[in-house]
Structure 1
Amino acid sequence: MKLTFYRGPEPNFGDELNAFMWDKLLPSGFLDGDSDELFIGIGSIIWDCYPVQAKKHVIGSGYGGYTSAPDVKDGTWQVAWVRGPLTAEKLGLDASLAITDAAVLLRAIDLPAPSLQSGPAFMPHFDSVARGNWQQVCEMAGITYLDPRADPMDLIAKIRGASVLVTEAMHGAIVADALRTPFIPVTPTHPSHRYKWEDWARSVELDLKPVDAMSSSLLESYTSMTGLEGKGARSRALFKSRMLSPIDKFVMNRTAAKLGQIAAHAEPHLSDDAVITRVTERSQEALDRFVQSHRGMDHQNSQ
């Protein structure tokens, strides 16, 4: 069975959790490189573009709207559980399969100790890192910058050490909530990333009150206003030109002030202790059932 998750040109925090978490939760040798069976883990990766004949096992994943919804009842899918009720509804699954995002199982493994930093931290969406000037903005605001492309274990330690995490990255919020660090959600700059937040929030009984999207550069402002990706060479060349750099500096100063205000005064979110304990236990039980059922099938096939 092959571990399957999104990996783009650069690493991204939520996706890279897959690279170390499952080895600690699954029996040795359970995962291998056999692409006839796909272990679909953390992320908005319930897509319609997987190989038709492959067996696809959904382990706490979500539907994010990045492709059309697949037919999970075509005989090639096994759903252990999904991220939230919106995913279950979209796929036509029983509501009991909507537990929460699989990253909650970080609570079941050994993690690095909290970093010695104190005070608020900020994690942008990894797309915003490429478009914006977030490291400089955080430095101006006196807030710890968490680059979602950095080593996940280092990021986990910093999330655990933060007094509050302001985050545009959904898995920043999911991990913070799982590890009991209060977080402040920021509406993602690009509209395509917003649906999945509500899916997860409902799974942990949170009423999200996100602060408005912020832009740390003219290019980010452009993508926020137009809904376009802003990833093309022309967009980058235009919005990074020297002629516009004074305006970019103005945007950075304004956003640094706003970020400081948000970290100090916006309402932090944290799910109830009883809720996070319950969904952790349910996720672990669903994973255990999946492993046992798969081992049972392997035993039958070997006879």
Structure 2
Amino acid sequence: MEIYYWKVNPSNFGDELNPWLWKKILPEIFSSSEVGDNSGKLFVGIGTLINHKLPKERDKIIFGAGVGYGDLPTIDDSYSIYFVRGPLSADALKLSKDKFITDPAILINSCLEDTKKKIVNKHKISFSPHYSSYKWGDWDEVCRKVGIKCISPFQKVDKVILDICSSELVITDSMHGAIFADSLRIPWIPIHPNYGHILDFKWRDWSQSMCLEYAPHYVDPVWRGGCHKPFKQQIKNLIKRGLHSSGVWREGWEPPEMPRSKPGVVEKAGAQLLRLANNEQRFLSRDNIFEDKLNMCLEKVEQFRREFAPR
């Protein structure tokens, strides 16, 4: 059985949670290899993965994934749906209401014993940026200037969990940053930098599954300006910006990266994060709802184990 998930370089902790979590919770089913047997069933767990890209010729086990990217697939006999992420995913796929629970990343709550022993420093405020936000903007610098811990999405899953466990508050534009915080019972605040990659649908899908409202605070984006790219790419960006500003541009050309944010923009973004931390409502699902959702997911794990564990 193959663990199906989005793979990218550098890695993204929300996606890499798949092999990390399923091997811990279901070690008797998933081998020690990275994805397992690539000739059998697909195990589709954490992520916005239910779309037309799922191989039609493979049998697919849907275990908490959601919809949101790409075209909806035709649900046929090749699908075995244990549950989907939220009510919006269930509606989109024309499933009954009992087919959604929540994002299965909630199960990290059952894997915390070793992590809690490692907590040393407590971060008053942490920021967990979306993968693309972190690639495009120097959020390490934003956070450094105002004394906020920046949690890189490129880190290993264990380190992200430890950093969030060590925080009193998490500000995030990453849905899995919020899910990790909520699952670790750390208050969080959602933000929405105006980059264009935040998918409100999946946020609302998960939020509604936990009886929460998705109400992000809009903050200014910051830009690295391509300074992290190879020298040739930086020169290419400069030429593109010149052509674009002079009107010599053709439809279909890939736009240049935004220029690097000036110090004042970086300082303003940091001040916005601090203001939110000090003045705005903090989010955390209610304990009874959290426990119900966690137990429902654990029941699905046991059902899956009974059906697929070697005898």
Name the TM-score, length of structure 1 as normaliser. 0.86
Contact 1:217 1:251 (8 Å CA) reproduced: no
Distance 2:127 2:240 in 1: 27
The equivalent residue for 1:195 is 201
Secondary structure of the equivalent of 1:17? helix
Instruction: Identify the match of residue 70 of structure 1 among 68, 73, 88.
Output: 73
Secondary structure of the equivalent of 2:282? coil
Name the TM-score, length of structure 2 as normaliser. 0.84
Q: Matched residue pairs, number?
A: 280
Distance 2:107 2:271 in 1: 36
Residue identity opposite 1:258 in structure 2? Q
The answer to which of 261-270 and 210-219 deviates more is 210-219
CA deviation map 1:259-285 (0-9, x unaligned): 111122121100000000000000111
The equivalent residue for 1:227 is none
Distance 1:284 1:118 in 2: 30
The equivalent residue for 2:220 is 214
The equivalent residue for 1:270 is 284
* Structure 1 residues 128 and 198, CA gap change in structure 2 (3 angstroms): same
Within 5 Å, give how 1:123-138 maps onto structure 2: 123-138=128-143
Q: Indicate yes or no: 2:133 matched with 1:119.
A: no
Secondary structure of the equivalent of 1:20? helix
Instruction: Identify the match of residue 97 of structure 2 among 92, 95, 105.
Output: 95
The equivalent residue for 2:233 is none
Q: Point out 4+ residue stretches in structure 1 off by more than 3 angstroms.
A: 233-241
CA deviation map 1:31-67 (0-9, x unaligned): 5313331011111111211221100111111112x11
User: 1:219: how far off?
Assistant: 6.2
Residue identity opposite 1:80 in structure 2? Y
User: 1:133: how far off?
Assistant: 1.2
Distance 1:279 1:294 in 2: 23
CA deviation map 1:47-96 (0-9, x unaligned): 211221100111111112x1101112x11011111110000000111110
User: 1:183: how far off?
Assistant: 0.2
Within 5 Å, give how 1:18-33 maps onto structure 2: 18-31=18-31, 32-33=36-37
The equivalent residue for 2:183 is 178
Instruction: Identify the match of residue 147 of structure 1 among 145, 152, 159.
Output: 152
Q: Indicate yes or no: 2:140 matched with 1:156.
A: no
Secondary structure of the equivalent of 2:264? helix
Residue identity opposite 1:67 in structure 2? G
User: 1:252: how far off?
Assistant: 0.7
Distance 2:201 2:74 in 1: 20
Distance 1:240 1:60 in 2: 35
Secondary structure of the equivalent of 2:154? coil
The equivalent residue for 2:263 is 249
> Identity over the aligned pairs, expressed in percent?
30
Runs (5+) with no aligned partner, structure 1:
221-232
Q: Indicate yes or no: 2:58 matched with 1:58.
A: no
The answer to which of 104-113 and 286-295 deviates more is 286-295
Distance 2:157 2:122 in 1: 17
Q: Pairwise CA RMSD of aligned residues?
A: 2.3
